[in-house]
Amino acid sequence: MTLRLAPLACAVLMLAACGGKPAADANAPAGKPGAEEKVLNVYNWSDYVADDTVKNFEAATGVKVNYDVYDANETLESKLSAGASGYDAVFPSARPFAQRQVKAGMYAKLDKSKLPNWSHLDPQLLQNLASIDPGNEHLVPYMWGTTGLGLNVDKIKEALGENAPLDSWSLLFDPANAAKLGKCGITVLDDDQEAFGAALIWLGRDPNAGAADEIDAVRKVYAAIRPFVRTFNNAEYKDAFANGDACIVMGYSGDIAQASTAAFDAAKKAGKPAPNLRFVIPKEGAIRWVDVIAIPKDSKHAGNAHAFIDYLLDPKVAAAISNHVAYASANKDAAPLIDPAIAQDPGVYPPEDVRAKLVDPRSLPEDVQRQRVRAWTSIKSGH
């Protein structure tokens, strides 16, 4: 995830200590019994908990929660790589970020005796993550979703006609379509993994490919539509989509749902018809991602981090978060508690035939990743 702002501090609260000392290394369990100051430092994506999640956690326990947010996995990774992040609970995307962070020993080993709500997690997601985190020793699945297209249906049909291909990446990547839709606003995620993956899927190629000819093919795709793309960003596109400044956006499933709800509420308050906004997983396929929770190995409040994670794993808490952020929960027992409008939305919980076309991102060799990043920088600049 997906979605999302620059770091800023959130409200602070007080809570009871949950004993624990930071793990000495990534192979030792975090959160051993011991005195621990009543502080928890959390680093998460923006708009990724309910409005009252932190407040309720603090009321139930008493620890002071310092809550910062970021807008890109790279921002989190740079802090972790520095060796002293200062955070106790972080929320990276599993592939390829948490995958290489686990391999690099950046996370403490979980003490599952402190996570009684672990049993509520979806076993299929746990099995999926075990391939990058053997034994599920470091990563806790949190939310999952897809990267697709947010569409203002009426504006798109006005520009392209009633037969516009609303179910295809062609809506964005066909230059003839982009030239017309550029007038009502196109935004693309500022994320080389998502942007490369989408273009390669549209081309009928492996979205995890990194050969020189495939990188060149992606360059050509974006060069053809670059004059019509208004912005590349991971956060502001939500507001642009909600207020009508963008009619087609590449975005995360939950972000589009949140923007659609905001647009509906604003229209209702103003006494105007609500815009016809929609999230689409294109027929060609899409990138699927899973965001996880982990405890940095230098955490000074690992006991409190375990308490916070276990709180998030409570089905009622997990359902309340999904109801607010409109992302699919990794908590199987939260499903019956989630608003049917979300639980039955195929853009949030895709049917099996659609899931079969979803692709998990893979960690690429360092030299290939560097080439992708350089190419993406060039694509954005238009050079």
CATH number of the structural domain spanning residue 56: 3.40.190.10
Q: Which structure tokens are listed for 161?
A: 């006609």
Q: Are residues 96 and 221 in the same domain?
A: no
User: Is 366 annotated among the ligand-binding residues?
Assistant: no
pLDDT at position 26 over 70: no
pLDDT at position 25 over 70: no
User: Is 190 annotated among the ligand-binding residues?
Assistant: no
Average pLDDT, the chain: 90
- The number of beta carbons lying within 10 Å of the beta carbon of residue 359 is 16
151-189 burial code (b ≥16 CB/10 A, e <16): bbeebbbebbeeebebebbbbbbbeebbebbbebbbbbb
pLDDT of residue 306: 98
Q: Which domain holds residue 305?
A: 39-139+294-313
pLDDT at position 213 over 80: yes
- The number of beta carbons lying within 10 Å of the beta carbon of residue 303 is 27
Amino acid at 140: V
CB 61 within 8 A of CB 15: yes
Tens of pLDDT, residues 155-179: 999 999 999 999 999 999 999 999 9
- 4 inside domain: no
pLDDT of residue 64: 93
Number of domains forming the structure of the chain:
2
Q: Are residues 103 and 53 in the same domain?
A: yes
Q: Are residues 245 and 376 in the same domain?
A: yes
Q: Are residues 184 and 235 in the same domain?
A: yes
Looking at residues 223-241, what average pLDDT do you find? Answer: 95
Q: Are residues 135 and 205 in the same domain?
A: no
Residue with the two structure tokens 């409200």: 11
SS3 142: strand
Q: Are residues 362 and 229 in the same domain?
A: yes
User: Is 367 annotated among the ligand-binding residues?
Assistant: no
User: Is 193 annotated among the ligand-binding residues?
Assistant: yes
- The number of beta carbons lying within 10 Å of the beta carbon of residue 60 is 13
pTM of the model: 0.79
- 350 inside domain: no
Tens of pLDDT, residues 39-64: 999 999 988 999 999 999 999 999 99
Q: Are residues 73 and 114 in the same domain?
A: yes
pLDDT at position 32 over 50: no
pLDDT band at 82 (very low <50, low <70, confident <90, very high): confident
pLDDT of residue 206: 94
Q: Are residues 251 and 373 in the same domain?
A: yes
Residue with the two structure tokens 């020189």: 212
Q: Are residues 98 and 176 in the same domain?
A: no
pLDDT of residue 1: 55
